[in-house]
């Protein structure tokens, strides 16, 4: 069951602290490379679009793990 505390944690803005900025950048850089590989090696299609969307979702989820300290 999702608790009110979890909702508060997940839906609160947390400014980057310490080395978090470099962590966010590393994730974006890796995702950008992977997305380019997908686009360069798959035909334009709904599946290609879905693959890129999932890369974006992975970045967002990883960012949340950093911001929410994995809680």
| Residue reference for tokens 């929410």 | 68
**pTM of this prediction?**
0.85
pLDDT in tens, 12-70: 888 898 899 999 999 999 999 999 999 999 999 999 999 999 999 999 999 999 999 86
The domains of the chain are located at 20-67
Closest by CA position to 51, among listed 32, 60, 38, 37: 38
Both structure tokens of 16: 């980057």
- Contact between 33 and 1 under an 8 Å Cβ cutoff? The reply is no
């Amino acid at each position: 069951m999702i608790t009110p505390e979890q909702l508060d944690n997940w839906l609160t803005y947390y400014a980057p602290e310490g080395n978090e900025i470099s962590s966010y950048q590393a994730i974006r850089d890796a995702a950008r490379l992977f997305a380019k590989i997908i686009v360069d090696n798959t035909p334009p299609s709904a599946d290609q679009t879905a693959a890129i969307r999932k890369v974006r979702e992975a970045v967002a989820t990883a960012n949340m793990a950093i911001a929410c300290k994995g809680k």
